[in-house]
Structure 1
Amino acid sequence: MMNNWRNACGRNDGFRRRRWSKATPSCSSGAEAVILHRYILRQVVVPVLVAALLLNVLFLLVELLRIASVAVGVGLRLADLGWMSLLLLPGLSVFTIPVAVLMGIMLGFGRLAEDGELVALAGAGIGPGRVLKMPALLGAAAALLGMVVSVWFTPAAARTMRGLFVDLTRRNVAASLDSSKFYEELPGLVLLCGPRRGPGAWQGFFAYDLRDRELPLLLVANQARVGDSSGADLELQLQDGQACLLQDEQRRQTIAAFSRGRVRLALDVLVSDRTRFLSPTDHLYLAQLREMAADARQPIRLRKLCQAAWHRRFAFPLAALIFACLAVLMVAPGRGQSRSRSLWLAVALVAGYFLLMRTGDALVEKGILSPSYSAWLPDVLLTMAGWWLWRRRQGVAR
């Protein structure tokens, strides 16, 4: 590799360890530039793709373990688990795409530095601008992909995820009623079903409704089955039963018999509990975030959250381009940088980004910084750091 760049650029004075220098006219265009860009692209694309795959798998497993306590139940099927995993990927990709770009490019350039190839490129008069071109284009493509995922795919997946948990909660409740034990997970309700007579059908049903403390209701029926449900409700169809209403302090009773009846069980509390791991803004599209942020009737905290979420739909994907440029500039020739050191630098940079993001959130909570500024704070500061590194790399060896 070193001899190739020396011959291509017409250098016969050997290769000295030096800082990046500006490209000479003899190797600023033509076939050598195409070879250079293809070579650099090959060195970084594979590590970026591998990093993206590993990060998505890793964080997907972490997310599945985190929601296992609320997602896994007697009504969960293998198909639900697979569908849930697919729905989690868009939200995870918004995070993993920029990080994968950073780690992949730093690993690729770490290998080039470890093998002395960055010294060869610097000695051949190839400046940082030309070396930076392909990683920057890769980062721009990743940023564009991240914005598409963040703006359209993530809200759609979050909405579908909520619908999945509503259906899953219905099936969990129906399956729990099969246990012939008192079911008390719904606030103010005690349910008991008799022996199962088929899918979603029981012989015997008992319900004690305490949601209205002043008018407790007792329901008994010979048969019950799950009916057509909509929204976050579970409908039970009853046959041949009685309803007993306790009306006042003297416990006077009103008893009514019925041949057919329907009971709708509101599962909002259970659904809210099972979806507490979901962000309150992920399912909102950009227009809805703007409306919520401008709605004076909403709590001030939710309005700030929506405003920050709107800006972060663009700020965090754009970090892929910033990370790509920083990755190249942080791996300098002539320092004997290894791939392991590059990996640790990437981890430190990601940690710094999220530390800046949390710092911005804290400043918003104290009223020092607006939500829009806090969303862009990490990008702005890292861009300034990249500009400083760029100015340093622009020096020409004397």
Structure 2
Amino acid sequence: MSKATRFPTLLDSYLTTEMLAPFFASFVIMNSVFFLVKLIPFLNVVLELEISFVDFIRLFLYLFPNIFLYSIPMAAMMGVIISFTRLSSDAEILAFKASGISLYKMIPAVLLVSASIALITGYFSATLIPKSEIAMKQLMFQVAKEKIDKGIKEHQFTEALGDLVVYVDTIDRNTGEWGNVWVSDMRGQVNPIITMAESGTMNAQIDNMMVTITLRNGSLHRPDDKRSQIITFEKYTINIPLQPPTILDGEDVTKRSADSMTMAQLQEYATELGRDTQKGRKTLIEYHRRLVLPVGCFILSLLGMPLGLQAGPGRKAAGVPLGLAFFILYYILFTLGKGVAENTGIPVIAAMWTP
């Protein structure tokens, strides 16, 4: 194999290294900024649910794939711009040209780095984001349930279940089964429904985000202004939709959303809802968002090369501010396209891909 056809060439390896170093530096800096921005709403949840430090770290890690979807494209663009700005300022580009190496021979390295980072972004977008969203919901649900479990103690009235007040006489330490249970249910009632049972258990349904209390061998007392109704039972189930304080950035992370669906599920769900309905369009917007952003990452990275070449010996480097301007412009157009897709009858694919 001749020297001309070897891959990767020394030039490609050198340029790739030059681009990856500032990329990783930019990536760390940007995610640190995002960390500080997201920290305050997370602290509210931590204090409310009394989350341990380990669970707090897990919760934050589950959020990072969504952050990476925006930080990676910007870091990739900055990495290419900074590397070519340095090469131009140090006259290395001139040295390459003097040695017979044209700019066209540098393009493969830029294409390789841009495509690789775009593919990584696509992997985060299509695979890791739904997995992390589901894991976050399950963690928040489990933490909220643990708080309820800790709140239910022997010989104490517990109000950890909202409009339900629970009193338990005994708790089996091995099985968690309750003995001599008293429940006051005020949900949608003027007068509470009183339920008494010999035993009971509490189980969590993570998929439905629901806590189920199962009571056995008891009676239900439904008071009224004129009369009281008493019903005896062998088994009685109380389903409680779990509603912990899990609002992050204005969204309830315990609710199943498009963010937690795979690409195939998004397509199926949009078809089920009707692609022209409001919910169907929002589902399609999420589908195309996951495709548009990795492609945008690739384009922005390629744009970094000509912006970086604006610098040179004795010339002011304008690549970085120009890159930031293009990045902001791109995301403004992306946001506008998303808004058009949500609020007009224009096909979602046209509104999302036109910017």
Q: TM-score, normalised by structure 2?
A: 0.79
User: 1:266 aligned to 2:243?
Assistant: no
Query: Secondary structure in 1 aligned to 2:204?
Result: coil
Query: Secondary structure in 2 aligned to 1:245?
Result: strand
User: 1:101 aligned to 2:59?
Assistant: no
Whole-angstrom distance in 1 between the partners of 2:256 and 2:31: 19
1:138 match: 113
Whole-angstrom distance in 2 between the partners of 1:202 and 1:75: 24
User: 1:37 aligned to 2:4?
Assistant: no
Whole-angstrom distance in 1 between the partners of 2:290 and 2:138: 23
1:294 match: 271
CA drift at 1:165: 1.9
Quote the RMSD (CA, aligned, Å).
3.7
Unaligned 5+ runs, structure 1: 1-27, 379-398
Superposed, which structure 2 residues align to 1:13-52 within 5 Å?
Answer: 29=4, 34-52=9-27
1:381 match: none
In structure 1, which of residues 109, 115, 135 is the aligned counterpart of residue 90 of structure 2? 115
1:21 match: none
Determine if contact 1:143/1:321 at 8 Å carries over to the other structure.
yes
User: 1:162 aligned to 2:137?
Assistant: yes
Superposed, which structure 2 residues align to 1:271-286 within 5 Å?
Answer: 276=252, 280-286=257-263
Query: Secondary structure in 1 aligned to 2:326?
Result: helix
Whole-angstrom distance in 2 between the partners of 1:343 and 1:333: 10
Query: Secondary structure in 2 aligned to 1:76?
Result: coil
Whole-angstrom distance in 1 between the partners of 2:75 and 2:298: 11
Whole-angstrom distance in 2 between the partners of 1:119 and 1:162: 54
Higher relative contact order (CA 8 A, sep 6+): 1
Whole-angstrom distance in 2 between the partners of 1:97 and 1:321: 10
Whole-angstrom distance in 2 between the partners of 1:357 and 1:279: 25
Whole-angstrom distance in 1 between the partners of 2:311 and 2:26: 26
- Specify the code of the residue in structure 2 equivalent to 1:67: F
- Specify the code of the residue in structure 2 equivalent to 1:363: V
In structure 1, which of residues 76, 79, 83 is the aligned counterpart of residue 54 of structure 2? 79
Superposed, which structure 2 residues align to 1:320-335 within 5 Å?
Answer: 320-333=297-310, 335=312
- Specify the code of the residue in structure 1 equivalent to 2:74: V
Whole-angstrom distance in 2 between the partners of 1:244 and 1:88: 46
1:211 match: 187
Sequence identity, in percent? 20
1:6 match: none
Unaligned 5+ runs, structure 2: none
Q: Relative to 1, partners in 2 of residues 1:74 and 1:283: Cα closer, same or farther, differing over 3 Å?
A: closer
In structure 2, which of residues 165, 172, 177 is the aligned counterpart of residue 191 of structure 1? 165
Query: Secondary structure in 2 aligned to 1:244?
Result: strand
* Matched residue count: 343
Superposed, which structure 2 residues align to 1:235-250 within 5 Å?
Answer: 235-236=212-213, 243-246=220-223, 248-250=224-226
Determine if contact 2:212/2:237 at 8 Å carries over to the other structure.
yes
Query: Secondary structure in 2 aligned to 1:183?
Result: strand
Flag the structure with higher strand content: 2
Deviations 1:171-227 (A, max 9, x none): 2333344596762763xx242547996867889865332335388412356x87753
User: 1:317 aligned to 2:294?
Assistant: yes
Q: Relative to 1, partners in 2 of residues 1:109 and 1:368: Cα closer, same or farther, differing over 3 Å?
A: farther
Determine if contact 1:170/1:233 at 8 Å carries over to the other structure.
no
Determine if contact 1:207/1:218 at 8 Å carries over to the other structure.
yes
Q: Relative to 1, partners in 2 of residues 1:370 and 1:324: Cα closer, same or farther, differing over 3 Å?
A: same
Instruction: Kindly name which structure, 1 or 2, has the bigger radius of gyration based on alpha carbons.
Output: 1
Whole-angstrom distance in 1 between the partners of 2:32 and 2:121: 17
Q: Relative to 1, partners in 2 of residues 1:53 and 1:129: Cα closer, same or farther, differing over 3 Å?
A: same
Greater mean alpha carbon deviation, residues 138-147 or residues 57-66? 57-66
Deviations 1:62-105 (A, max 9, x none): 33433332354445233322322332232222222222211111
Whole-angstrom distance in 2 between the partners of 1:75 and 1:226: 24
